Copies of this chain bind each other. A is one copy, B any other.
Amino acid sequence: MKKRVTIAEIAKRCNTSIGTVDRALNNRSGIHSETKDFILQTAKEMGYQTNPIAGALSRKKSIRLGIVYCENHADFYDYVNRGIEQAAKELLIYGVEVTKWKTKNLSWEEQLELLESIDLNSYDGFAINSAGMQTDAILNHIVDLGIPVLTFNTDAPATKRFCYIGANARQAGNLAGELIGKLMGQEGKVAALGSFLATNSFIERFIGFYEVIQREYPKITLCPFSECFNDTKSAYHETLRVLEKESDIKALYITGSAGTVGAIEAIKELGRKDMILVGYDITEPTIQALKEGWCTAVLYQDPYFQGYHAVKVLAKHMLEGFVPRSPLLTVDTKIMMKYNLEECENTALFLS
């Protein structure tokens, strides 16, 4: 049984009491800043590490975490949600309580309104699915209140959030480029559909794709990109339009979730099982399409994992002062096809 330094030992060394050491270590009020500094210094010298187990056992009032996200597309956020719940369940015994708020969409207006309605001071930490720079100020305000903020799923890089957990859209795009390049036998014509007006991540997914096709697959031609607003209907029409205009298209790349569904519908209508179609996300329609062969593969950025670790990392930060080595914790992009579909369920069930 390994022995750690305890607050009692620090107290003895500092000729003070555990109460004061506790005040210093947890920056509670009612302590001389000199004594505090001295204690902190000594604690560091002694290699003190907080013992979350003892904390959990003695804690009377729970640590309250607030999670702010949205529910715009159910399939994705349903998994995020399950990850959050599982983490919350595991943390209950540590005296950690998780409160969730969802906006209807990932819009900054809604998010701002929501955040303003929250009594920030009754929470000890926040995990936020940033809705864009417009909410940066309030995120910083929260941090200034002494409440740590972590972003997940979408980042707010210009804020004082202590870390971000989520996908790297550019890299997902790179992978899409490689996958499609290889599926096409390294030659032919490919069309990309995406929303270039919408979220930054869609654009990144495109840029990453473009980069790789351009650099590594010289025999592949990329058609002019189509705007489809990450909207099922537009994507459907746009797909039909593109395929009609350019008859020899061999592959389609769709950068958004809803767009993927629309493209699938179009492909299905045309009966083009020969089309190589790579899109994003596991949703009811994409699952169906993968099973039936209307979709070649989708890229998937484990929402369960994102939700789960957003909460876990935030809790670890509160409980043990954990700070990841890199503020950017990147979630894997998975290539999902028919025969690894069940895996999404696997992960969610692993420890429950």
Instruction: Show the binding face of A for B, using Cβ within 8 Å.
Output: 1-2, 51-54, 56-57, 59-62, 92-95, 97, 171, 174-175, 177-179, 182-183, 185, 212, 276, 296-297, 309, 312-313, 316, 324-326, 329-330, 332-335, 337-340, 343, 346-347, 349-352
A172 to chain B, nearest CB (A): 9
Interface contact A1-B337, CB-CB below 8 Å: no
How many copies of the shown chain assemble into the complex? 2
Q: A57-B57, A60-B1, A93-B51 are in contact. Are A350 and B329 (CB under 8 A)?
A: yes
- Can you give 27 contacting A-B residue pairs, CB < 8 Å? A1-B60, A1-B62, A1-B97, A53-B56, A53-B57, A53-B94, A54-B57, A57-B57, A175-B339, A177-B339, A178-B337, A179-B337, A182-B183, A182-B296, A182-B297, A182-B337, A183-B183, A312-B351, A313-B351, A325-B352, A326-B349, A329-B350, A332-B334, A332-B340, A332-B347, A333-B343, A334-B335
- State in angstroms the CA–CA spacing of A51 and B2 once bound together: 21
Return the chain B residue nearest A97 by Cβ: B1
- With beta carbons under 8 angstroms apart, the residue of B54, B325, B350 that contacts A309 is B350
A75 to chain B, nearest CB (A): 19
Interface contact B325-A349, CB-CB below 8 Å: yes
A292 to chain B, nearest CB (A): 11
Interface contact B346-A171, CB-CB below 8 Å: no
- With beta carbons under 8 angstroms apart, the residue of B93, B95, B337 that contacts A175 is B337
- State in angstroms the CA–CA spacing of A332 and B337 once bound together: 12
Q: A52-B93, A182-B296, A351-B313 are in contact. Are A61 and B1 (CB under 8 A)?
A: yes
Interface contact B351-A316, CB-CB below 8 Å: yes
A183 to chain B, nearest CB (A): 6
Q: A53-B94, A93-B53 are in contact. Are A339 and B212 (CB under 8 A)?
A: yes
Interface contact B171-A339, CB-CB below 8 Å: yes
Contacts of A171 in B (CB 8 A): 339-340
A307 to chain B, nearest CB (A): 14
A8 to chain B, nearest CB (A): 14
A310 to chain B, nearest CB (A): 12
- State in angstroms the CA–CA spacing of A59 and B75 once bound together: 44
- With beta carbons under 8 angstroms apart, the residue of B93, B95, B177, B332 that contacts A343 is B332
- State in angstroms the CA–CA spacing of A1 and B312 once bound together: 18
Interface contact A178-B347, CB-CB below 8 Å: no
A238 to chain B, nearest CB (A): 24
Interface contact B346-A332, CB-CB below 8 Å: yes
